[in-house]
Amino acid sequence: MHDLIIVGGGPAGLAAMVYALNKRLDVLMLTEDLGGKTAYGLEVKGYEGHEVIRGSEVVEKFKRQIEYLTDVRQIDRVTHVVPEEGRYAVFTQSTKKLDARAVIIATGALPKRLNVPGERQLIGKGLSYSAISHAQLFIERAPAIVGSNMRALQAAAEMANIAKQVHLVLPEAGEIDSPFGKRLQANPKVKIYRGALKEIRGTDYVESIVVEDQTIPVDGLFIEIGLVPNSKCVADLGVTDVYGRIVVNNRCETSRPGLFAAGDVTNVFIEQVLVAIGEGAKAALCAYEYLLNQ
Ligand SMILES: Cc1cc2nc3c(=O)[nH]c(=O)nc-3n(C[C@H](O)[C@H](O)[C@H](O)COP(=O)(O)OP(=O)(O)OC[C@H]3O[C@@H](n4cnc5c(N)ncnc54)[C@H](O)[C@@H]3O)c2cc1C
């Protein structure tokens, strides 16, 4: 039996792993890849150089540290985690059952896709799913944002402070009639379109979008229709909220002793590489303290 199993090899999982190794724990990482979502970047036409994800260099260093330690990491998908007397059984896709006294879930979240023509080809080429990461690159431009939730409306408000114009596409009413949404409607820089985005056009960069029957030229596109936390493996344990995020306290503890979580899969504000690194480090140190007390 291991002291600790870390599920996920993105920024949160890698940071947790480095801290757990430093504490000389008997630790095992189970992950589908090493690096997680840090591979996402965004090319913005006319912007000097390519966007570099802040924190990605740190993640690269963590990754190199773990990469050659093949005996403490396995590339595998965790299917479910089951609490047993004083331990957790962790089941993987390759039908293995592994045991640990504590577990950290750091499986991240995936942005929801529209699944419309042009989307797949243009990801990273003017098309992003993370306004919080890339909105600041659109000074004096005219990007579009798709989404009706508060996250999308906040992205539009942020963008309106620096962009020439913001095209806000609302697939449904969502939060647009909230006090925040009403202020956005009154903003002269924000042009609102109601209806479905049906196509994204451009050869090697986003050039226009089709909303219902209207073609709108744009300088970039943000799809902000939500994140899906990868929390299926603990879905039956009563540790998730209505959005599927694992609920943790400020020590990365879930409501189950010995079960910790860190990064985008949790309810912690907000999805950024550096935040995930910090949360991963914290989860490992809190798991270490938990194990000391056992
Ligand atoms: C388009 C986009 C652009 C972004 N740009 C930036 C940016 O410029 N700057 C910035 O700071 N942040 C950016 N972010 C956010 C950043 O990528 C995330 O906050 C960060 O990667 C979260 O780290 P994480 O470790 O929690 O999750 P992830 O990076 O998602 O890693 C999750 C890990 O868990 C593994 N995994 C998932 N499910 C399982 C399972 N069942 N079993 C085993 N392994 C599993 C995955 O393989 C992966 O290794 C961006 C996000 C997106 C979507």
Q: Where are the domains of the chain?
A: 2-110+227-292, 113-223
Per-residue pLDDT of the chain (294 residues; tens, 9 = 90+): 999 999 999 999 999 999 999 999 999 999 999 999 886 767 777 766 555 555 778 888 898 989 889 899 999 999 999 999 999 999 999 978 999 999 999 999 999 999 999 999 999 999 999 998 888 889 999 999 999 999 999 999 999 999 999 999 999 999 999 999 999 999 999 999 999 999 999 999 999 999 999 999 999 999 999 999 999 999 999 999 999 999 999 999 999 999 999 999 999 998 999 999 999 999 999 999 999 999
Pocket of ligand 1, candidates 107, 125, 129, 277: which has the most ligand atoms within 8 Å of its Cβ, to mutate? Answer: 107
Q: Which two structure tokens, joined as six digits, stand for 151?
A: 């996250």
**Does ligand 1 come within 6 angstroms of the Cβ of 131?**
no
Range 113-223 classified under CATH 3.20.20.240 = no
Helices (H), 27-123: 56-67, 119-122
Orientation angle between helical segments 11-22 and 56-67, nearest 10 degrees: 50
What values do phi and psi take at 98, rounded to 5? -125, 155
Global pTM?
0.94
**Nearest ligand 1 atom to alpha carbon 78:** 42
Pocket of ligand 1, candidates 130, 134, 269: which has the most ligand atoms within 8 Å of its Cβ, to mutate? Answer: 130
What values do phi and psi take at 210, rounded to 5? -110, 115
From residue 254, alpha-carbon distances to 2, 14, 271 in Å are: 20, 20, 19
**Does ligand 1 come within 6 angstroms of the Cβ of 108?**
yes
Distance 38 CA to ligand 1 centre (A): 6
- Within this chain, domains 2-110+227-292 and 113-223 share the same CATH topology: yes
**Does ligand 1 come within 6 angstroms of the Cβ of 78?**
yes
**Does ligand 1 come within 6 angstroms of the Cβ of 147?**
no
Distance 37 CA to ligand 1 centre (A): 3
| The predicted structure's pLDDT at residue 45 | 74
As a CATH number, domain 2-110+227-292 is 3.50.50.60
**Does ligand 1 come within 6 angstroms of the Cβ of 229?**
no
**Nearest ligand 1 atom to alpha carbon 263:** 26
